Structure 1
């Protein structure tokens, strides 16, 4: 199956960096974390489905063909109209070596389409000249050790889907619309977090904050210290499930330590959510 690479770019904006990602790293390596998200400006369709096959970033100078790195991504069809009004689809979340990013691009398969207001499906055609991929340039995008850097791809449906001027009802549905992507890139800081304490502190629990995404669970972990305090930083806004797993057993004669799950924990941008004290027995 032939893969089409997508891409004229109308506007690219780049803002800010992010803060700490994981509070503990199991292998001790000083890495960064890179997230790529997709959001949408609404258009006059019932559905707009993009057949996203691959996400890549460029690490070297422009026109160096060896600079592209493929990111960990599961190919999937994404209805971008499900991600409006502040919602976004998490495409990539992976540990990444610190350094500069020069460009990002998406690669689409041949199965992108729209469902019009008439309920009919129309394939999205990409002009034959648009075969090099949507290359979005990044200005001063630097990943630093133990920081999270998030790229938000803001897809403008109204500007990206163009109706052919000579098309009329009765013509081939596959020939009605052209896909000429207009995407704005925003790098936004992840400064939200969760903190609290556990009782008894002697349970020394491992703590997981888990957020559901289209890629599956996105998990950040830490451990409570000797005083029972913990904090998870560098979180994206969303609703989390926080799980506590004691790493020790209670002394003889005391109530056993138990695993605890707290659901519906809401995290908002630039704020730290305080869970207070969580009892583990």
Structure 2
């Protein structure tokens, strides 16, 4: 695999990054381009527009300022919208271990947001890495990517602060447990359209159901069931403010069997009904967003 690749204007790239081949590289996706990565740890930062990602952990939407990271067997497919620009990095297991040795920092599966300032720094450092890797395409030097990797690791510092709370006698063991639990949490976020069973999460992390639930609660201060319910309601709130879906459609898309159970759960979390929540959010949005939802409501009679 080449160390620098870009998918633009509807182009589809399929990248195979097995361990022992190329240790890492830079990937870009823009304007309806898409990339499918097999093998290798990957981390992505959305710079403009939006992108949709489908991976073993589920389906995700990235908006400007979002970042997301996947384990090596996640096989993510990233597709940018017509205005989207998304930058990515791929790393083999050896490269990740080497990074931990020279910086005592790691990168972990998960997702989050970064400030506009951090996003600009990420882009600048990524471009510098692209330039260095392009100058010597036949050989890989992790030092070429070190600045951008350290910066992205810094954006995960709030996550990494939880590592000492993980069980394990050594720091490497704690990091391993943390990485597995982060992947389970990402799986919950990627499956906000349904109820996720504890057995699925336990299988994903190779822990027993009891050990997984106990460790998850200790690390994140909420049970997996509570985290799932919270994420599903947050997903519903996002759909209410970003789409013109009817309330019943939002409930179904958030994993609720009926509108009544959704209404009770939504009011318990946000203190208002889903309809009032949408109205309040739309009152703060541009007129174009309001009219789109209003037109849908007129057609459906809601």
Which structure's CA Rg is the greater one?
A: 1
Name the TM tier (shorter chain).
under 0.3
* TM-score, normalised with respect to structure 1: 0.27
Please state which structure has a larger fraction of its residues in strand.
1
Q: Which has the higher contact order (CA 8 A, sep 6+)?
A: 1
* TM-score, normalised with respect to structure 2: 0.25
